[in-house]
Amino acid sequence: MTPSDASTPGEFRDPRLRIFMNLQAFGDMPQSAGGLLAIRNAGYDGVQFTAPLDRARVDEAQALGLGVCGSGRVNAPAEAAPLAKEAREAGLECLTLHVGWGTENDDAAAALIDSVLAASAQHAIPLYPETHRATIFQDLWRTVQFLRRFPALEFNGDFSHWYTGAEMVYGGFENKMEFFRPVLGRIGFLHGRIGNPGCMQVDIGDGSPAHRPYVAHFRALRKP
């Protein structure tokens, strides 16, 4: 993932690719006191917390020198600012957001986007809506239209949802990637999962694309 400087939303100031561990990957596994230390010692730059935010764990991660970011969901415009405020006060660098359910009309979706952009500016923290299923950005075409209308948007590119859900190889992967190239220019954060045409998260073996063409496709999506 590549979070922007939290004091300047919309400005990407650190050219490094920083790798964070999403703590949701551990599911319901019990978290030992040394868990965050093990993550740091494994070479990760930080961790991503999921809602509800555990402030004690955030403080623990920061004390270890780990970067911290978070995630959340905005179902109504009034929910964006409190999320941003809490994250900023906790010292998080940014949030990735599931915005809406994907059934909203354009006016309702626009109100959600307005609220996210306003909350980001008000609380000086980057908020990255995700290209995630069951959100207003689940669809390639609609996301491109919203970006034209709201050019300040920046996204968390969780492209496994589009790759599988939009069947990106059907009709030509390159054609579809060219269509949403403007979105690729507005990515401030990446989720690392890789999918194939039938499953949103798959084993990629040694990472060779020889028998897994979808690996090459994701490399293209993530190319600077």
Domain 20-221 has CATH 2.40.50.140: no
CA distance 53 to 71: 9
Task: Give residue 99's pLDDT band: very low, low, confident or very high (50, 70, 90).
Answer: very high
Average pLDDT of span 56-66:
95
pLDDT at 52: 87
Q: What distance in Å separates the CA atoms of residue 32 and residue 12, rounded to the nearest whole number?
A: 34
Q: Which pLDDT belongs to residue 210?
A: 81
Sign (positive or negative) of CA dihedral 84, 159, 196, 39:
negative
Contact between residue 158 and residue 126 where contact means Cβ atoms under 8 Å apart: no
Structure tokens at 124: 């000086």
pTM beyond cutoff 0.85: yes
The domain spans of the chain are 20-221
**Average pLDDT value for the chain:** 91
The tens digit of pLDDT for each residue in 161-205 reads: 999 999 999 999 999 999 999 999 999 999 999 999 999 999 998
